[in-house]
Amino acid sequence: MKPALCAALLLAAASASAQPPNAALLGDWWTPGFGARVRIESCGDAVCGRIVWVWDDSPKDIVDKSPLIGRRVIDAMRADGGERWNGGRMYNPEDGRDYKGHLHLQSPTRLSVEGCVLFICKQQIWRRADMSRCPPAEGGAGG
């Protein structure tokens, strides 16, 4: 009886310490050039990301002229194993369009973000935000 109890306790401890599949991806990420910071959060059994900081809150060279802060740019990405998330949508404020999206966590600080239309894909590498090294004010350039 004692071996069964020990096995049950070990199994319970192992499952309690195991992180959910989305945990490694959650947090703030810098887009290329540090122009925007995106916060990736859980949304049900998936992850979503929204812009929480921008360098320029009214850039002239983008199609979407609505406020960028709070804008959801990653929607309903689900873990697909192997540090990959698929099945969701990516929104690009530069052209105002949605794309089929893929995320790949290449390391704890490096995220590959890819948006595709048909068979044509574009990729960006985002860097995890280290708020102790570069803490811009919440809300962006204006706030």
Mean pLDDT of 16-30: 76
Q: What is the pLDDT of residue 59?
A: 77
Contact 101, 74 (CB under 8 A): yes
pTM of the model: 0.78
Beta strands in 4-137 (DSSP E): 27-30, 36-43, 46-54, 72-79, 84-92, 97-107, 110-117, 120-128
Q: Minimal CA–CA distance to 35: which of 138, 121, 112, 140? A: 140
* pLDDT tens-digit readout, 109-137: 999 999 999 889 999 999 999 877 765 54
Looking at domain 20-128, does it have CATH number 3.40.50.2000? no
- The domains of the chain are located at 20-128
How many of the other CB atoms lie within 10 Å of CB of 113? 23
- Whether residue 49 contacts residue 37, with contact meaning beta carbons closer than 8 Å, is answered with no
Q: For residue 14, how many C-alpha atoms fall within 13 Å in the half-sphere facing its CB?
A: 6
Write the pLDDT tens digit of every residue in 98-107: 999 999 999 9
Instruction: Give pLDDT tens digits for 47-100.
Output: 999 999 998 877 778 888 888 999 999 999 999 988 999 999 999 988 999 999
